[in-house]
Copies of this chain bind each other. A is one copy, B any other.
Amino acid sequence: MLLMIPGPVHLHERIQLAMAKPMIGHRTKDFSEILEYCTEMLKKLFGTKHDVFIISGSGTAGMEAAIACFSKVKRITCIDNGKFGDRLGKIAERYTEVDVVRFEWGKSIELDEVEKSLAEGSEALAFVHNETSTGILNPARELAKIAKKYDALVIMDGITSVGGDYVAMDEWGVDVAIVGSQKCIGAPPGLCAVAVNDRAWEFYNEKCPFYLDLKAYKKKLEDWQTPYTPAVSLFFALQEALKIIEEEGLENRIRRHRELSAFVRKWVEEAGLELFPELNEYSQYSNTVTAIKMPEGITDKELRGELKEKYGILISGGQEHLKGKIFRIGTMGNVTIRDVVTTLACIERILVKRGIIKPVLGEIEA
């Protein structure tokens, strides 16, 4: 099965095989070296000189660590213009007062509404950089800038941008950021990382979950160790994934993500299909996942079903109320132009057969 969903991504063979290595003890120099390498490489991906803590858990564990550990705030503003923004708010509710600034899923963030919420007394702002559920790249730099006007802590979910698109945490003034292993980094799911600058610790809440308490991670990282037994095999995989990134070069990698997503969008346009996101002057189309409106004349089940059963390609549908209304194609991780062409060619066959579009793939310039 060719995975073209927005994570978990198809694994590079080297990454698959890395997991087949014999187990090692985690309280050893061997493991510390892996942890150090991964931590230092992730700092480059986040664009930070500050701390990065790797947690054995899904991206959601990272979201909760980021919010819970730094929730000593009177109120936090959470931006919801998609499923993962919605999740940030739901997590934050467990720790402090929350003001959710909502936009219809697929719509862009209006900066003045965010500013209004901050001005009303929020001490922190949490948002999703790349909203996977709708295919929008939210304006991280601008959001951080507004938050700074109100001296608010900035927490950014970079789960599906870090490692695949440009992220410059320190430069943008983002205090806390999160990434997941199974997205742009190209590793299997099960690890996440939280980048934390010095300022964030002023907001440290000692009532955060024990397992996600980043203070314990910080202390153990002095010896390049984790506080609890790490998912060692996944670290083997992460190390290999980061080596592949190092070999490719981060700039080349970002360019590849941008070119491949641009290719998908070009095909959508040429085929007369419609992209789902409604952009404003600050937001952009995501470079790691493209959300496309389901055309008339075919159902989600037919499109994704035939693609999966006949062609062995997995793409995503819409989530929650978007189910059936959109389909999503990931261009994340170690995905190649061949993977993208393969996917579009098969989708095109399905749609052409039903008379929904005309064939255009052959003529698109890449």
Contact assessment for B24 and A229 in the assembled complex, using a CB-CB cutoff below 8 Å:
no
Contact assessment for B210 and A64 in the assembled complex, using a CB-CB cutoff below 8 Å:
yes
Chain A, interface SS category: loop
Q: CA separation between A59 and B210, bound complex, in Å? A: 12
Name the residue of chain B whose CB is nearest to the CB of A237.
Answer: B233
Contact assessment for A228 and B58 in the assembled complex, using a CB-CB cutoff below 8 Å:
yes
Contact with B along A87-126 (1 / 0, CB 8 A): 0001100100000000000000000000000000000000
Q: CA separation between A21 and B210, bound complex, in Å? A: 33
Contact assessment for A60 and B234 in the assembled complex, using a CB-CB cutoff below 8 Å:
no
Q: For residue A314, which residues in chain B have a CB less than 8 angstroms away from its CB?
A: 25, 28
Of A11-19, A194-202, A284-292, A352-360, the one touching chain B: A11-19
Within 8 A of B (CB), among A212-238: 212, 227-234, 237
A366 interfacial contact with B, CB 8 Å? no
Q: For residue A17, which residues in chain B have a CB less than 8 angstroms away from its CB?
A: 20
Q: CA separation between A207 and B64, bound complex, in Å? A: 13
Contact assessment for A58 and B21 in the assembled complex, using a CB-CB cutoff below 8 Å:
no
Q: CA separation between A314 and B25, bound complex, in Å? A: 8
Count this chain's copies in the assembly: 2
Q: For residue A58, which residues in chain B have a CB less than 8 angstroms away from its CB?
A: 56, 211, 228-231
Given contacts A8-B26, A25-B8, A94-B207, contact A19 B57 (CB under 8 A): no
A134 interfacial contact with B, CB 8 Å? no
A188 interfacial contact with B, CB 8 Å? yes
Return A82 CB to nearest CB of chain B, in Å.
Answer: 16
Return A223 CB to nearest CB of chain B, in Å.
Answer: 14
With beta carbons under 8 angstroms apart, the residue of B20, B23, B94, B188 that contacts A209 is B94
A182 interfacial contact with B, CB 8 Å? yes
Contact assessment for B23 and A188 in the assembled complex, using a CB-CB cutoff below 8 Å:
yes
Contact with B along A1-44 (1 / 0, CB 8 A): 10101011111000011011111111010000000000000000
A189 interfacial contact with B, CB 8 Å? yes
Given contacts A210-B94, A211-B212, contact A232 B20 (CB under 8 A): no
Contact assessment for B232 and A233 in the assembled complex, using a CB-CB cutoff below 8 Å:
no
A61 interfacial contact with B, CB 8 Å? yes
Q: For residue A26, which residues in chain B have a CB less than 8 angstroms away from its CB?
A: 8, 189
Return A72 CB to nearest CB of chain B, in Å.
Answer: 15
Given contacts A58-B228, A234-B234, contact A20 B23 (CB under 8 A): no
Q: For residue A16, which residues in chain B have a CB less than 8 angstroms away from its CB?
A: 19-23
Q: CA separation between A180 and B64, bound complex, in Å? A: 22
Q: CA separation between A209 and B64, bound complex, in Å? A: 8
Q: For residue A295, which residues in chain B have a CB less than 8 angstroms away from its CB?
A: none
Q: For residue A20, which residues in chain B have a CB less than 8 angstroms away from its CB?
A: 16-17, 19-20
Contact assessment for A230 and B190 in the assembled complex, using a CB-CB cutoff below 8 Å:
yes
Q: CA separation between A122 and B232, bound complex, in Å? A: 38
Q: For residue A22, which residues in chain B have a CB less than 8 angstroms away from its CB?
A: 1, 10-11, 16
Contact assessment for A180 and B229 in the assembled complex, using a CB-CB cutoff below 8 Å:
yes
For the complex of A and B, list the 6 residue pairs with the smallest distance between their C-beta atoms, beginning with the closest.
A190-B231, A19-B19, A20-B20, A209-B209, A60-B228, A58-B228
Enumerate 20 A-B pairs (CB-CB under 8 Å) in ascending A order. A8-B26, A9-B23, A16-B19, A16-B20, A16-B21, A19-B20, A19-B233, A20-B20, A23-B188, A28-B314, A56-B189, A57-B57, A64-B211, A94-B207, A94-B209, A189-B231, A190-B232, A191-B231, A209-B209, A231-B234
